[in-house]
Structure 1
Amino acid sequence: MTRVVVHAGFHKTGTSTVQHALAQNRDALAPHLRIHLREDFDPLTASARSWSVTRSDKHFAAIGRNALRFFRSIGREDTRPVLMSSEDLCGHMPGRNGIAAYDAAPDILRVIADNARHWFGPALDLVIYFSTRAPDPWLRSTWWQNLRSTRLTKDLDPYADDLPRAADLSAVVDAVRAAVTAQVVTAPLEDSAARPEGPLAPLLDLTDVPADVRAALGIPPPVNAQPDLGMAEVLLALNRSGLDDEALSDAKRTIRRLAVKRSNLSPHA
C-alpha cells in the first residue's frame, strides 16, 4: 500500500509553519517520507484557486488534468508515504475574490482523490488532512491576512458577519468527508501547537515518522503570525486611502519590514 496524505488546509491554521518546517527538514525526512509542497504541484493549486472563483468547466477540467500529471510524477514502487501540503488545494481563502465559504473544497478534493486512485490503483491508502481552528481566532487571522494581501476595507466585525459559513470549518470537513472516498482526519491548531513538533506533529503521526527522527528535527517558530503591534489599524487605513495599487503595496512592504524588525517575526511571515 502507498499512503498519500493530502494536507489541504485550512488557511490560517498553521499551514505556513508546517510547510516551512517540511522545507527546512526535507533532507532529514527524505528516507522516510516523500514531501511535495506547493511549488511541486503549482499548476494544480492554480487551477483549484481559479475554479473556486470562476466555477468554469475549463478550470474544473484543469484540476483533474493537473492532478493526474502530478501523480504520474510519483513512483509507484517506492514504499515511502507521500505528503502533499498546500491550503490552496481548497481554493482561494474566503474573504477575497467574492468567496464567502469553502464551497469549492469538496469537489476539488474529490477530483484530486479520483486521480490519485487512477494512478495508484488499489494500492492507494489516501488520507485527506485538515488543520482546523476555532471560529473567532480564524476569522481574526484571515481578516489580518486579507488586510495585508488585498484592499480589504472592512473592520473585523462586519468582515466576520459576512463569513459565518467559512468559519465553520467542521462543516466543511463534513462536506469533504461526504464527497471523497478517503479517510478524512483533522487536528485543531489549539491542540497541535502545544506539541513538540507544533502543527507538523499530526502529519508526522499520519506518515509514521520514527520517534528518533522526529526528536532530531529542527522545528522553526510560527511563521505568518499576526504581530501585536497595532498594524491592523494601519493597514486598514492604507487600504481606505487614495494610494494607487503600486504605492499601497510599497507602503505595506515598508510597514511589514519595520514590524519584522521590531518583533523579531520570521521574514517568511
Structure 2
Amino acid sequence: MTHVIVHAGFHKTGTSSLQDYLRAHRARLADRVTIYLKDDFLDAGNAARRYGMRPHPWRLWRFRRALRDFLNAIPEAPVIFLSWEGFSGVMPGHRRPLSGPVRGMARAAVPLARGIVAELRHRFGPAARIEFLYTLREGETWLRSVWGHIARSIRLTEDYAAFRAGFRTLKPLDAEAATVARAIAPVPVHTAWLEEISALPQGPATPALRLMGLSDTEIAALPRASHVNRGNSDAATQTFLHLNRTLADPAELKQRKDALARDDHRNRP
C-alpha cells in the first residue's frame, strides 16, 4: 500500500526552509521516502498557480491533467512525499483579473486538495494511504510577511496599514486548513505552527519527517537545519514600495528590485 504525504502550503509558513532541508538530505532519506519538490513537477505546479489566480473549472482540469502525467511517470514507492505551497493556490494579495485581490486560501485550496486526492487514488489505487500537511503561522506576522513578499514580487504600492485594511476579516490559517480537512475527509490533514517548529534542530522539516515515519531518535541523528531568513529587511521593503510607485517601465522595475533583493540578502547577517 502506497503512503503519500502532501505538504500543500501554506505560503510564507517556513515552506522554503522545509523544502531546502529535504532537498539537501533527499539522498540520505532515500531508503525511507521518495521526495518530490517543486522542480520535479513544474507543469503541475504552474497549472496550480494559474488556477489559483483564475479558479475556473477548466484550469482545475488542466492542473489535474498535469499532475496525472507527473504521477504516471514516477515509479511506485512505499512512501512518497510531495511538497509545494502552490498546491494551496496563490498567495493572498495577488490580484485576480476580475474579482480583485486574493483574500483567503480556501477558494483555491479546497478544489486543489480534492483534485490531488482524486489523482493520487487514480495512480495508486483506492487503498493508498494519503495524508496532507499544512504549515501555519500566526496571523499578523504571517500577513506582514505576505505583504513584504508581494511588494517584492509585483507592483504593490500600499503600505502595510493600507494592505492590512483589506483583510479586516482575515481568517486564521488553522481555520483555512480546517476547511480543507472537512472537504477531503476522511483523508487526514495535519498542521504545524511555524512558531513552534522553527526552533527545532531540524526546523520546519520536523513534522514532515515524523509523517514519513522517522522516530524522534532518527530525526535527532539527522543534520541540524541552517537558519535561513528569506524575508527582505524592512528597509528593502520600503524601497520596493518606492520603486513600485515611481518606476513606470516594468523591465527596469524588475531589474532594480532583483538587484536590491540580492544585495539585501547578501548584506544581512
User: Do 1:28 and 1:213's aligned partners in 2 also have CA atoms closer than 8 Å?
Assistant: no
**Matching residue of 2:39:** 39
- Once the two structures are superposed, residues 115-134 of structure 1 have per-residue CA deviations (whole angstroms, 9 ceiling, x without a partner) of 10121113311111000001
Q: Which among 159, 167, 173 is matched to residue 155 of structure 1?
A: 159
User: Do 1:101 and 1:165's aligned partners in 2 also have CA atoms closer than 8 Å?
Assistant: no
- Once the two structures are superposed, residues 232-258 of structure 1 have per-residue CA deviations (whole angstroms, 9 ceiling, x without a partner) of 211111111134111111211222222
CA RMSD of aligned residues (A): 1.7
Cα distance in 1 for partners of 2:115, 2:222 equals 36
**Matching residue of 2:88:** 90
User: Do 1:53 and 1:92's aligned partners in 2 also have CA atoms closer than 8 Å?
Assistant: yes
CA positional deviation for 1:214: 4.8
**Matching residue of 1:109:** 113
User: Do 1:63 and 1:112's aligned partners in 2 also have CA atoms closer than 8 Å?
Assistant: no
CA positional deviation for 1:218: 5.0
**Matching residue of 2:226:** 220
When normalised by structure 2's length, the TM-score is: 0.91
**Matching residue of 1:145:** 149
Cα distance in 1 for partners of 2:20, 2:218 equals 20
> Taking structure 1 as reference, are residues 160 and 167 closer, same or farther at Cα in structure 2, changes over 3 Å only?
farther
**Matching residue of 1:100:** 103
| 2:134 paired with 1:136 | no
> Taking structure 1 as reference, are residues 122 and 242 closer, same or farther at Cα in structure 2, changes over 3 Å only?
closer
* Higher alpha-carbon deviation: 206-215 or 181-190: 206-215
| 2:243 paired with 1:245 | no
In structure 2, stretches of 5+ residues that fail to align are 97-101
**Matching residue of 1:16:** 16
Cα distance in 2 for partners of 1:5, 1:123 equals 14
Cα distance in 2 for partners of 1:220, 1:120 equals 35
Cα distance in 2 for partners of 1:138, 1:249 equals 24
**Matching residue of 1:123:** 127
**Matching residue of 2:262:** 257
> Taking structure 1 as reference, are residues 46 and 220 closer, same or farther at Cα in structure 2, changes over 3 Å only?
same
Cα distance in 1 for partners of 2:142, 2:111 equals 23
When normalised by structure 1's length, the TM-score is: 0.91
**Matching residue of 2:188:** 183
Cα distance in 1 for partners of 2:262, 2:178 equals 40
User: Do 2:11 and 2:85's aligned partners in 1 also have CA atoms closer than 8 Å?
Assistant: yes
**Matching residue of 2:99:** none
User: Do 2:4 and 2:131's aligned partners in 1 also have CA atoms closer than 8 Å?
Assistant: yes
* Partner SS for 1:126: strand
User: Do 2:209 and 2:219's aligned partners in 1 also have CA atoms closer than 8 Å?
Assistant: no
Cα distance in 2 for partners of 1:213, 1:186 equals 18
Cα distance in 1 for partners of 2:176, 2:120 equals 21
User: Do 1:21 and 1:218's aligned partners in 2 also have CA atoms closer than 8 Å?
Assistant: no
Cα distance in 1 for partners of 2:49, 2:171 equals 18
Cα distance in 2 for partners of 1:92, 1:250 equals 23
> Taking structure 1 as reference, are residues 120 and 111 closer, same or farther at Cα in structure 2, changes over 3 Å only?
same
Cα distance in 1 for partners of 2:113, 2:172 equals 18
CA positional deviation for 1:17: 0.7
> Taking structure 1 as reference, are residues 164 and 116 closer, same or farther at Cα in structure 2, changes over 3 Å only?
farther
CA positional deviation for 1:220: 2.5
* Partner SS for 1:36: strand
CA positional deviation for 1:231: 1.5
| 2:73 paired with 1:68 | no
* Higher alpha-carbon deviation: 123-132 or 42-51: 42-51
Q: What code does the residue aligned with 2:46 have?
A: A
1:194-233 matched pairs, under 5 angstroms: 194-210=199-215, 211-212=217-218, 214-217=220-223, 219-228=225-234, 230-233=235-238
User: Do 2:232 and 2:261's aligned partners in 1 also have CA atoms closer than 8 Å?
Assistant: no
